[in-house]
Structure 1
Amino acid sequence: MSKILITGSNGFIGQEIVNQLLNTEGDELIAISRGKNRVEHEKDFIYRSADVCDQETLEQIIAEYKPDTVIHTVAMANVDRCEEDPIECSRINVDPVKYLAQLAERHNFHLIYLSTDFVFDGLNGPYREDDQTRPLNHYGVSKVEAERCIQQSSCVWSIVRTILVYGAPYERNRSNLILWVKSSLENKQNINVVTDHYRMPTFVGDLAKACLEIARRKAYGIYHISSDEIFSVYEIAQQVADFWKLDKSLIRPVKSTELFSKVERPSYTGFNIDKARNDLDFSPTNLISGLEKIGQNL
């Protein structure tokens, strides 16, 4: 039996990893997040309310439960907010990773860290794991800094980069691109959607499964996890409208320069996922299948 500790277990990705882990046999789960536990499951597991930015509390939890693997999902991911408050962004996105890398060295656990396509500039996608990082905004900078903290440590580590994660959250008050488009069109709201940003959207179940496969196979290094289909964000919105038979005329195509945000974002990312296919037997969910799964869950 392996002990796996999940940080940010109340978050969108964290909840999916927790539920997948609880639906399989053979591993012991320790989950930490801020506030009360929001994961409902018939199986019992250890939950501790904790702020990962609190180094002392984090160290106490690691020392008490002695996990074999830590999957770190916590992040400040609002790109505009990161740009407005870079100090807070670094406090959340970089400092806890430094602590965890130090703790992994001391307590000998496998550290799995979730990163992003925003470590790249969007000029040469789709990207391989060994391509040069060049972030365009502070969110991307913070994720590159966190990656370097891990890579420069002597701990056993894996970095999982992903793109535009979507799915049906366990808590209905949460959202993502797919649900935002669906809800807006159902409410007859006009929405502006960019035509000049291209992404490979990632189904949340695929990401969670990949993280757990990395833990179980002890697959070390950097892994790119996404779908293998590239769309403009506008094309994604169009597919959402088609799937749920909603009014596409409400979707207004715009250039990224027309939007309110002044923060630069990579225009064309996408991943080469051959390494994940070969090492993890990773098989991505295509967008239409992902929409069908959301429909079933909703």
Structure 2
Amino acid sequence: MKKTILITGSNGLLGQKLVDLLSQESSVNLIATARGENRLPNHAGYTYQSLDITDPIAVEEIFCKYQPAIVIHTAAMTNVDTCESDLVGCELLNVKAVEYIVHACEKHKTFLCHLSTDFIFDGEAGPYNEEDLPNPISVYGESKLKAEKIIQASKIRWAIARTVLVFGIVPDMSRTNIILWVKKSLEEGKQINVVTDQYRTPTLAEDLAIGCWLITQKEAEGIFNISGEELLTPYEMAIKTAEFYHLSKDLIKPADSSNFSQPAKRPPRTGFILSKAKKILGYKPRTFNEGIALMASQIQ
């Protein structure tokens, strides 16, 4: 008996990795949804449906049509600085849309796996476990915490997968990431200033997709930290990237985050402890270097 899984945000980085992964699973009837046209190069093994998750009627229509057993909700406004300037848009996409999805999940008895973030924490005491108390310092972090609370207060069966600094590559991605930025800058002989006073556990997009799949396979309820395991500064990530590609590390200059003017505050030290996901789900992330190597094999 096939299980119908519906993904929101299937045009995004994680969404595309989930479609790649789940479209190959014979036990899954996969429904991929996103706003607008399908941007995935592979059109086999799943059904694509355009969906605006900020429209509650459209959300209900999709649930009625496909009757998903599971929803993996990846769609969100994730640009931290945009959230500071577009308060209405952020609230609509990151909070109200979650209300609509939760309501539909309640009505159709659907299990929800919702993606959240390390930015719900203030970064004063990372790395964090699942029981640590959130204290967001940005509009983005506040919106994602509101969404978590909506889910936790609901009557549905749910899981929240929190993650950190997701990196990876897909064919049509317009957005860059730290690895691609460092590689391009150093290849062009440009000096780059990279911060040394922020700490993250960067997450390979493929690993995050696997983490979501492990949650949904078991329909494991509760909060799970799904990230990389190595606590690194962006400067250390840049050095590792230069070493992998045999590029000049002399062009990478250490910098303090106070030197950069950004609308949203960033938590200084987050990162996640993964004991729970390892024990309950069997989650095992790759190293940062393994992530760089996988990305290198995917760059055309």
Query: TM (normalized to structure 1)?
Result: 0.97
- What is the distance in 1 between the residues matched to 2:278 and 2:298? 26
Contact kept in structure 1, 2:195 and 2:254, CA below 8 Å: yes
Q: Aligned pair 1:222/2:231, yes or no?
A: no
Q: Which string of whole-angstrom CA distances, capped at 9 and with x for unpartnered residues, describes residues 231-269 of structure 1?
A: 111111111111111222222221111102142111111
**Aligned residue number for residue 33 of structure 2:** 32
Give 1:70's aligned residue: 71
Question: How far, CA to CA, are the matches of 2:35 and 2:143 in structure 1?
Answer: 21
- Tell me the secondary structure at the aligned position of residue 283 of structure 1: coil
State the match for 2:284 in structure 1: 283
- 1:41 aligns to what? 42
Give the count of matched residue pairs.
Answer: 298
8 A Cα contact 2:24 2:45, kept in partner: no
Q: Hey, what's the Cα distance between the residues in 2 that align with 1:189 and 1:75? A: 33
Distance of 2:234 and 2:12 partners within structure 1: 23
Post-superposition offset of 1:226 = 1.0
Q: Which 4+ runs in 1 deviate beyond 3 A?
A: none
Mapped to 2, the partners of 1:280 and 1:31 lie a distance apart of: 24
- The answer on 1:20 being equivalent to 2:45 is no
8 Å contact from structure 1 (residues 15, 170) kept in 2: no
Provide the C-alpha distance between the structure 1 equivalents of 2:212 and 2:45, rounded to a whole number of angstroms. Answer: 21
Which residue number in structure 1 is paired with residue 82 of structure 2? Answer: 81
1:225–1:276 CA contact under 8 A, matched in 2:
yes
CA deviations over 1:178-223 (Å, ceiling 9, x no partner): 2222222222233221110001011111100110111111101100
User: 1:81 and 1:95 mapped to 2: Cα distance?
Assistant: 17
Cα deviation for residue 103 of structure 1 reads 0.9
Question: Does structure 1 conserve the Cα–Cα contact (< 8 Å) formed by 2:13 and 2:173?
Answer: no
The two structures, once aligned, show a CA RMSD in angstroms of: 1.2
| In 1, Cα distance between equivalents of 2:259 and 2:37 | 40
Contact 1:71-1:113 within 8 A present in 2 as well = yes
Amino acid at match of 1:141: E
Deviation for aligned residue 1:50: 1.7
Q: Which residue of 2 aligns with 1:167?
A: 168
- Pair 1:151–1:89, CA change in 2 (3 A): same
Structure 2 counterpart of 1:7: 8
Give CA-to-partner distance per residue, 1:117-152, whole Å, 9 cap, x none: 000111111111011000011000000000001001
- Structure 2 CA distance for partners of 1:11 and 1:126, relative to 1, 3 Å: same
Q: Give the letter aligned to residue 200 of structure 1.
A: T
- Aligned partners of 1:191 and 1:252 also within 8 Å: yes
Identity, % of aligned pairs? 43
Aligned twin of 1:109: 110
Does 33-42 or 217-226 show the bigger shift? Answer: 33-42
Segments of structure 1 that go 5 or more residues without pairing to the other structure are none
Code of the aligned partner of 1:234: Y
Q: Which moved more, 1:246-255 or 1:86-95?
A: 246-255
CA–CA distance in structure 1, aligned partners of residues 6 and 263 of structure 2: 37
Deviation, structure 1 residue 172: 4.7
Cα contact 1:199–1:232 (8 A) shared by 2: yes
Residue 208 of structure 2 is matched in structure 1 by: 207
In 2, distance between residues paired with 1:208 and 1:170? 17
Aligned positions of 1:116-265 closer than 5 A: 116-265=117-266
TM-score where L is the length of structure 2? 0.96
Moved more, 205-214 or 185-194: 185-194
Preserved CA contact (<8 Å) 1:17 1:208: yes
Whether contact under 8 Å (1:195, 1:234) holds in the other structure is: yes
